Copies of this chain bind each other. A is one copy, B any other.
Amino acid sequence: MGVKESFLVKNKQITLDNIAEKIGVSCTTVSRVLTGQSKKYRISDRTTEIVQQTARDLGYVPDQLARALRTKRTNTMGLVIPDISNPFFSTIARNIEIQARKVGNSIILADSQEDTQLEIESIRLLQSRKVDGLIVCPVGEESAHLKDIVNSGLPLVIIDRYFTDLDCAYVVSDNYHGALEAVEYFFQMNHRSIGYIQGRVNTSVNSERIRGYRDAHARFGQAVDESLIVGDSFGKRNGYIGAKILLAKSPRPTAIFAASNLISLGAMTAIQEEGLKIPEDISIISFDEQPYSEYLATPMTTVAQQTSETGEIAFKLLQSQIQNEGSPTTEGIILPTELVFRKSVKQLKHPT
């Protein structure tokens, strides 16, 4: 008997009071022992010992809700990401989570689906859950809601995309130099007609890359053909459409610079459909190094970003902001990229 109940009834939570009552002390004392303040409040060694023992026996585990309500600290951080299924972001997320849990913090994850409205709602939800801080990879076109957060004093770190008018810590890749280097490489290989399939316009990521693209042209004394800049999102479909447009031009550009891993995948479909070969007929460089990059039909030359580092640094920035509350650390960290040379770029005999 009792067996049935024990199956149906949820285990009752053990509280400080339970422990206190069981050994005949006050719940204050128990709290102080279990939070390691025995000395500070002169709890005798004997009592301390007993409290710890019974806490262990009863399997006491502190209620973080109650604790947070009182202390105003949840040890929880919010993470807002435009698309967690994208390995670029999930790698960042992973490293954030790993660092966080090392110090007993948890991550509440929100996927904004590249939608500013959802981003705003997600952030509101996270705030109502009283996260200690926020790491946001913003959709990137609007920043008013982020400015509100900064003003509210809630620690915030922006990753991947940032806003020049937002006074807030961030960690991003050096998109300018990444693009510059890639496009210069195209030039060195004698390419002169280089299409750029861009990502979401009006994001810092995109603007910086375009700036690199333009400066590379400038360095080689070549005017930018504006019609070679196409596209409007970081997704695969945009890559397909962008490539279709570029490949239909005549003369056809000899090279394509793709602004993301998904864009280059989409572009490859278009290239296949047109019966073209990489790099014989068309060269390509893609932003974002991926585990599969070297195994593609033509191993892909890529601009690698430091994803693990991004996550780790973002976390540490946020944590320090949370700890020194009051002093809003607004350092911006820019991580270098690396051009990974493979086989997707053809060396042309003459500048073309």
Would A64 and B128 be within 8 Å (CB), given that A90-B84, A295-B265 are in contact? yes
In the bound complex, how far is the Cα of B65 from the Cα of A89, in angstroms? 29
Q: Is A74 an interface residue when CB atoms closer than 8 A count as contact?
A: yes
- A116 beta carbon closer than 8 Å to chain B: no
A271 → chain B closest CB, angstroms: 10
CB distance from A114 to the nearest CB of B (A): 12
Interface string of A102-126 (1 = CB under 8 A from B): 0010111111010000000110111
Q: Would you give the shortest CB distance from A317 to chain B, in whole angstroms?
A: 19
Q: Is the CB of B85 within 8 A of A98?
A: no
Judge whether A47 is part of the interface by a CB distance below 8 angstroms: no
Please determine whether B110 and A106 come into contact, CB atoms closer than 8 angstroms: yes
For A312, what are the chain B residues with a Cβ–Cβ distance below 8 Å?
A: none
Q: Is A244 positioned at the interface, with any CB of B under 8 Å from its CB? A: no
Q: Which residues of B contact A124 (CB under 8 A)?
A: 61
User: A291 with B268: in contact, given A94-B83, A101-B122, A108-B108 (CB under 8 Å)?
Assistant: no
Of A106, A113, A124, A127, most buried by chain B (CB within 10 Å of CB) is A106
Q: Looking at the complex, which of A7-15, A173-181, A195-203, A223-231 is the stretch in contact with chain B?
A: A7-15
Partner pick for A64 among B6, B66, B106, B130, CB 8 A cutoff: B130
Taking each of A62, A93, A295, A297, which has the highest tally of chain B beta carbons within 10 Å of its own beta carbon?
A: A295
User: What are 7 A-B pairs at a CB distance below 8 A?
Assistant: A11-B151, A63-B128, A90-B90, A107-B109, A108-B108, A265-B291, A292-B296
User: Which residues of A pack against B, CB within 8 Å?
Assistant: 6-11, 61-66, 68-69, 74, 76, 79, 83-87, 90-91, 93-94, 97-98, 101, 104, 106-111, 113, 121-122, 124-130, 151-154, 236, 262, 265, 268, 290-292, 295-297, 299, 325-326
